[in-house]
Amino acid sequence: MKKIELEIVALSHSITQTHSYAVVLGEVNGLRRLPIVIGGFEAQAIAVALEKMNPSRPLTHDLMKNFMNAFIIDLQEIIICDLQEGIFYSKLVCVSEHDTVEIDSRTSDALALAVRFGCPIYTYDNILESAGILMEDSTGKKKIVKEAVASESTGSEDLKTLTLEELNTLLNDVLEQEDYIRAIAIRDEINSRRKR
């Protein structure tokens, strides 16, 4: 299966859902986006690395990188390799002098390590097709940390009562506001209807 390279294009916090964050991966040289919900600690770990901050003591992912460097192990790439029941599965492809090993990882941890090692992030087309969102316009600008502001109209309505056309319009609106947490719920509702 052909791998598709991704890059981190945004890290969003949703004010409509407490402690909910989304890391948004964008297809390199493409318009598809893959939003992934992550926890607050993982969002902080990714943001610290993206902003090239140097904490006074190593964070967990910094410790992991130091450990790997001490034993001359390089993180060659990460692959978001599966999606089951809304949960993304990833693997770290680690290379030493004598071996290449694939290690199972939570996607948020894999992304935090990828930023620290500067290694590529990949996924497969079937994952982008089922969980990705197609952007109409790509500016190419990276937004490191941005607070998403949800409009009043997107926070309370029941998605099941909307038509497919209304869902697509709503999806475009929340994407413009960069509320990727809400976009994930709308995308999932659209995909569930298409499978019927």
DSSP conformation letters of 98-139: S-EEEEEEEHHHHHHHHHHHT--EEEEHHHHHHH-EE-S---
How many residues are given for the chain? 196
Q: Which residue has the higher pLDDT, 103 or 177?
A: 103
Q: Tell me which residue of 145, 88, 71 sits closest to 115, measured CA to CA.
A: 145
Per-residue DSSP letter, 18: T
For residue 12, the cross-strand partners are 22, 146
pLDDT of residue 72: 97
CA distance 7 to 77: 12
Domain formed by 3-150, architecture = Roll (3.10)
User: Tokens 């941890």 correspond to what residue?
Assistant: 109
Helix 60-70 vs helix 40-50: angle between axes, to the nearest 10 degrees? 60
Best mean pLDDT range from 22-26, 68-72, 128-132, 159-163: 68-72
Any idea of the CA torsion for 111, 123, 2, 116, to the nearest 10 degrees?
Answer: -10
pLDDT band at 195 (very low <50, low <70, confident <90, very high): confident
Instruction: Classify 92 as helix, strand or coil.
Output: strand
CA distance 140 to 124: 21
Please give the backbone phi and psi of residue 63, each rounded to the nearest 5 degrees, phi first: -60, -45
Q: Write out pLDDT tens, residues 58-115.
A: 889 999 999 999 999 999 999 999 999 889 999 999 999 999 999 999 999 999 999 9
Give the pair of three-digit tokens for residue 173: 């609106």
Q: Is the pLDDT of residue 166 over 60?
A: yes
Per-residue DSSP letter, 153: H
CA distance 171 to 136: 12
Q: Is the pLDDT of residue 15 over 50?
A: yes
pLDDT of residue 192: 84
Q: What kind and span of H or E run contains 149?
A: none
Mean pLDDT of the chain: 84
